[in-house]
Structure 1
């Protein structure tokens, strides 16, 4: 799959811009702050309905406007698909597929696949657990779009349950609230079990690719791994970091392999864990057990990558995570999915020469690779291809 044309209206710094693209490598060159990343952000947003730079949609709309529009023409084999996504400031976002009637934005998920490398990826290793959970969930939704509803259902139930727990902490909790909490426990247990089951399966798919990608980028002297730490097993401390022992409130044996359980069995485990944690949750006013508290621990050799990896190793681990997601998508493409568009946004400026060349050699064979850089000298010769100049407010194509 490749992107043939991108059009933006009132997106970020662009009142209107059109960009024609083709298979293979395209490098967008321009000074820092000129708008290169805005173009890549729009493509990534079309694939995931989220930005790698901001957590809300407000900054995506050009200042002073209340709506932004992304249009993209995607080609897969002999078939072309026109996607339109309307980002709204005052109502729900909407999408269109091949100029059909408007649909919910999440109904376009799974059509455009991307893997986006960016300097912000350092947070995948150095940041808090929410960055790694987001990485898993975005990849999960790209592969299986129905899990967008799974995430949405869980977030909705979590919000309602937390509101009830906060009212209890404020002294407004009654026996009637207790019965209501029991109901929310059941809803959250089911939604949480479905999300946990999907994440565990995904981590199993990622793990071998992560180690393989790390070996490709380095001398292979260390193995890279990923361990899913579930709050269900008491493996997460109250601050959200991985603990080395089962928590006192856990109702599940920390040694139990959750990968062997069904969704129904995980639902039962959550119900047990909520019951065991209730007193502590009422005291704290928050939900202490659930996928929102879990951690994907990245391991390099025998030590956690966070806090122990050097700067170069950290970058290699970040790149390996993105490459692993690319390889998982390629596996999926062989069974009917679409190979992803690779986007490397200002990444090469952050890497040493050796890592630049190794990364370039790995991605050069993808169906479409989009690269941004401030200076052409940062681009390895392995990524020979079309060059496009980005200028204030638009594009100046150079062949």
Structure 2
């Protein structure tokens, strides 16, 4: 799998750009703030319908423009697929596949898969649980695109339920019966999400341990465990897990009514990252934290490869954050990927194993270096 061509219209600082790409390594070099990260952000958006830098789409539209368009010609198993995404803040985004409109943008999910390394990845170890949940859920959707709909439905039900809980002080018996209906929806969707998350953690754990051993010079073992806000039994089916969520909702009903917020469910869960006997957050050094973050991304890459399609690897300004040893080990691990897109402010930051086709990015202009 690789992106053969990227086309941007009014995306970030680009009024228009046409960028031919090819398999192997492509490096974008330019000073910070000139647009090199915007290029790989657009590739990631084609794969996930989201940005790794901002939670909302509005910043993706060039100042003064009303919309932006991202197009990517994706080659998978020798066949081309053209993905077109129209981003319009304040309105529903639109998508086309091979120039034909699709009813919902999420229908293009799974055509392009990416694994993106970025300086923001340090938050996977040091940041809040929502960062780790997002990492896990994006991996779920990359493996099974239909789960995007489950996530969206869960978030919608959660918002509706929270709105009802906030008015619980004045709630009538009818309103509380409505709460029971929302509980059923939340439990069913939550059980499906939990089943997918737990299954993914089960296969991800050994891959993370293997990747950490490659990128880190220490002998400490890294572990990934799932901490649920729900007391889980030994079962793993979505139906049984939905029962666990429903039981937890019943148990904490009075507390939720008193506090006006949903206290149990996948939205309250976390990934526990351990290094040896201690949690990585708060105990790991800066270098160890980076190694854990890299191991998570490399494990995601290995998992997607094993699912039958090698994703595009994106290394966004990562090498400036790493010491020489970690740079070299990371480069050795990814150099043979089908397509690797690298950004760097300083050319010498890029290891020799990744010196492929080079583009110079300056003031929103992209030129291939000779």
Give the TM-score range, shorter chain: over 0.9
Q: Measure, in 2, the Cα distance between the counterparts of 1:383 and 1:271.
A: 50
Q: Measure, in 2, the Cα distance between the counterparts of 1:262 and 1:349.
A: 43
Deviation at 1:274, TM superposition (A): 0.7
1:196 aligns to 2:194 (yes or no): yes
- SS of 2:359's equivalent in the other structure is strand
The residue that corresponds to 1:175 in the other structure is 173
Q: Structure 2 matches for 1:26-105, cutoff 5 A?
A: 26-105=26-105
Q: TM-score, normalised by structure 1?
A: 0.91
1:226 aligns to 2:230 (yes or no): no
For residues 291-314 of structure 1, what are the alpha-carbon distances to aligned partners after superposition, in whole Å with 9 as ceiling and x for unaligned? 000010111111110000000000
Q: Measure, in 1, the Cα distance between the counterparts of 2:74 and 2:28.
A: 19
Q: Structure 2 matches for 1:79-158, cutoff 5 A?
A: 79-158=79-158
Q: Measure, in 1, the Cα distance between the counterparts of 2:351 and 2:90.
A: 44
Q: In structure 2, which of residues 288, 298, 308 is the aligned counterpart of residue 313 of structure 1?
A: 288
- SS of 2:223's equivalent in the other structure is strand
1:384 aligns to 2:355 (yes or no): yes
Q: Measure, in 2, the Cα distance between the counterparts of 1:398 and 1:116.
A: 24
Q: In structure 1, which of residues 280, 295, 299 is the aligned counterpart of residue 270 of structure 2?
A: 295
Q: Measure, in 1, the Cα distance between the counterparts of 2:254 and 2:78.
A: 59
Q: In structure 1, which of residues 365, 378, 391 is the aligned counterpart of residue 336 of structure 2?
A: 365
Deviation at 1:189, TM superposition (A): 0.4
Contact 1:67 1:89 in 2 (8 A): yes
Which runs of 5 or more structure 1 residues have no equivalent in the other structure? 234-251
Deviation at 1:101, TM superposition (A): 2.6
- SS of 2:69's equivalent in the other structure is strand
1:398 aligns to 2:369 (yes or no): yes
Deviation at 1:392, TM superposition (A): 1.2
Q: Measure, in 2, the Cα distance between the counterparts of 1:275 and 1:377.
A: 58
Q: Measure, in 2, the Cα distance between the counterparts of 1:188 and 1:388.
A: 48
Does 102-111 or 150-159 show the bigger shift?
102-111
Contact 2:66 2:88 in 1 (8 A): yes
For residues 321-374 of structure 1, what are the alpha-carbon distances to aligned partners after superposition, in whole Å with 9 as ceiling and x for unaligned? 0001000001001xxxx2100000000001000000000000001000000001
Q: Structure 2 matches for 1:340-355, cutoff 5 A?
A: 340-355=311-326
Deviation at 1:262, TM superposition (A): 1.7
For residues 61-94 of structure 1, what are the alpha-carbon distances to aligned partners after superposition, in whole Å with 9 as ceiling and x for unaligned? 0112221100111112321111101111232111
Deviation at 1:220, TM superposition (A): 4.8
For residues 139-190 of structure 1, what are the alpha-carbon distances to aligned partners after superposition, in whole Å with 9 as ceiling and x for unaligned? 111110000001011001101110110001xx21121111111111111100
Deviation at 1:195, TM superposition (A): 0.5
Q: Measure, in 2, the Cα distance between the counterparts of 1:100 and 1:118.
A: 33
- SS of 1:80's equivalent in the other structure is strand
- SS of 1:112's equivalent in the other structure is coil
- SS of 1:387's equivalent in the other structure is strand
Contact 2:198 2:236 in 1 (8 A): no
Deviation at 1:112, TM superposition (A): 0.6
Runs of 4+ in 1 over 4 A off after TM superposition: none
For residues 2-57 of structure 1, what are the alpha-carbon distances to aligned partners after superposition, in whole Å with 9 as ceiling and x for unaligned? 11110100000111011111110111111111100000111111111111110000
- SS of 1:184's equivalent in the other structure is helix
Q: Measure, in 2, the Cα distance between the counterparts of 1:271 and 1:205.
A: 27
Tell me how large the CA RMSD over aligned residues is: 1.0
